[in-house]
Chains A and B, each alone.
Chain A
Amino acid sequence: MKTFDPVQMAIPFFVLAVILEIVLARMGRANARYETRDTAVSLAMGLGSSIAGALMAGVILAASVWAYQHRIFTIPMTAVWAWVALFFAEDLTYYGFHRLSHERRFWWASHVNHHTSTHYNLSTALRQTWTGGVAGTWLLWLPLSFLGFPPAMVAIQKGISLVYQFWIHTEAIKRMPRWFEAVFNTPSHHRVHHARNPRYLDANYAGVLILWDRMFGTFIPETDAEPIRYGTVKNLASFNLLTNVFHEWIGMARDVARHPRHALGYVFGPPGWSHDGSRDTSRTLKAKWRARTARREGQGPTGRGDEAGANKGS
């Protein structure tokens, strides 16, 4: 079965766009930062992800075909209305997948790879997971085939969504026109999603339409008052590719082995959950940030370590 694959088709465009961003930044014409090892990890993740995807493709396709064989309706692939319906249905599915991938550790273990760069450039878009197939998030798209959308149609729409999400991984574009920012996911909205600042955590899960975040209360706008810092709450200590791929899986397994009675919490709780509350989740980090902000607003600026001595290398 030869199917049109938007992602495969777009690869030359991805490469050219990265080259353009680097060259323009070098010329001082675009706002972009590239660190060599960070870029290498991002691109190697992209390459590895396509291999992992190819290995899992048969299973996913077989499951999709099975779901389609048991479909409720038969939706014609040639009808415009079917594509419009699928656009919304797939994008809502993506929102659900993405939210789940951030709010529950089992799926975060797979998705965290995409967020480990402390940079935000077009190469970051290619920093994709190797373990999505194992995490099973692809199951979330099966209901579309069960509903009656042909598997190839779903795969194409999924690919279109992924291609759309490539260009929003940039600092080179500050804001799109207001009407566009209101409806679509944009570089500005997605920068917030990649932020590690507490105020921006767990927000803007959109694929193509930012409307879902606005509807479900997860939208946070980018503010110039607080520049974005990229990466994860605890940035990785190494550029090692395998560490990048597996660190959260290993951490989760270690936690389960140490605290088997709390295994469910460590696997399906939010990232950062701990049985004794000794770690921070997004919720606690946001609460602390709100408390700090309230203190500052109530008391004015406070000194920090002003009396602490500091001398270099002694």
Chain B
Amino acid sequence: MTPADATPTLEAIGEEGVALDKALIIQLAGSAVAVSLLVALAAWARIARPTPPLDAEAARALLAVEFPDDPVETLWIAADGAGLVARSGERALVAWRKGDGYVARDLPWAAALAAGSAKGVVVLKTADGVARLAVEEGQVWPPPRFLSREAAA
């Protein structure tokens, strides 16, 4: 490239753009193949973060990180340990697994209690995400503990 090349005319830019189309398509196809191979390599490597099922201690630690200013009154952990629901005043704090991490949202406590469950899954709709949490076989949503707290209140 020479200094003169640095100041093309607008017409030259347009003409060259057409000539570059073919090379660009070849390059994009090659890139797509490379992306696929890299994703396959990442899958093969199995080096995601270990995400064991939540227990009470891990659930509280997760709540402390995601909702540090919200005192937790009562806590429920999904049957498979892949999510939780906690009450904090009139809000339900919800977290559920996404990949090898968690997503955390909140919704009104009343909405959480009214959420529907079917086939062992309770579906909690938040403003920008849906939590699908496993309910232990033979159990119902909401857990009786949540309702008894409600009655006490």
Q: Is the CB of A35 within 8 A of B48?
A: yes
Return the CB mask of B123-140 against A: 1 if under 8 Å, else 0: 000101110001110010
Question: What residues of chain B lie closer than 8 Å to A22, measured between beta carbons?
Answer: 38, 41-42, 45, 47
Whether a CB of chain A sits under 8 angstroms from the CB of B52 is: no
Cβ-based interface call for A236 (8 A) = yes
Q: Out of A34, A236, A237, name the residue touching B47 (CB < 8 Å).
A: A34
Across the interface, do B69 and A58 meet the contact criterion of CB distance under 8 Å? no
Question: What residue in chain A is nearest B120 (Cβ atoms)?
Answer: A313
Question: Could you tell me the distance in whole angstroms from the C-beta of A243 to the nearest C-beta in chain B?
Answer: 9
Contact B72 A309 (CB under 8 A): no
B49 interfacial by beta-carbon distance below 8 Å: yes
Chain B residues with Cβ below 8 Å from A26 are: 45-47
CB distance from B144 to the nearest CB of A (A): 8
**Assembly CA distance A153 to B6 (angstroms):** 7
- CB-CB under 8 A from B80, the residues of chain A are 313
Cα(A305)–Cα(B128), bound, Å? 27
A236 to B46, CA, bound (A): 22
Contact in complex: B13, A61 (CB < 8 Å)? yes
CA distance A57 to B46 in the complex (A): 38
Interface set, chain A 50-105, CB cutoff 8 A to B:
50-51, 54, 57-58, 61-62, 65-66, 68-69, 76-78
Q: Which of B14, B24, B64, B98 contacts A304 (CB 8 A)?
A: B64
Rounded to whole angstroms, the CA-CA distance of A311 and B78 in the bound complex is 9
User: Do the beta carbons of B3 and A78 come within 8 Å of each other?
Assistant: yes
Interface string of A25-39 (1 = CB under 8 A from B): 110000011111111
Assuming the A-B contacts A1-B16, A34-B47, A39-B42, are A313 and B73 also in contact, with contact meaning beta carbons closer than 8 angstroms in the complex?
Answer: no
Partner pick for B39 among A15, A23, A40, A51, CB 8 A cutoff: A40
B99 x A38 contact (CB < 8 A): yes
Chain A, range 248-307, C-beta contacts under 8 Å to B: 251, 288-289, 292, 304-305
Please give, as numbers and ranges, the residues of chain B lying within 8 Å of A289 by CB-CB distance: 68
22 A-B pairs whose Cβ atoms sit less than 8 Å apart in the complex? A4-B1, A8-B27, A19-B38, A26-B45, A26-B46, A37-B99, A38-B99, A40-B39, A44-B35, A46-B35, A58-B13, A58-B14, A61-B13, A77-B3, A237-B105, A237-B128, A305-B73, A309-B74, A311-B56, A312-B56, A313-B134, A314-B76
Interface residues in chain A, defined as those with a beta carbon under 8 Å from any beta carbon in chain B = 1-4, 8, 11, 15, 18-19, 22-23, 25-26, 32-40, 43-44, 46-47, 50-51, 54, 57-58, 61-62, 65-66, 68-69, 76-78, 118, 123, 150-153, 229, 231, 234-239, 247, 251, 288-289, 292, 304-305, 308-314
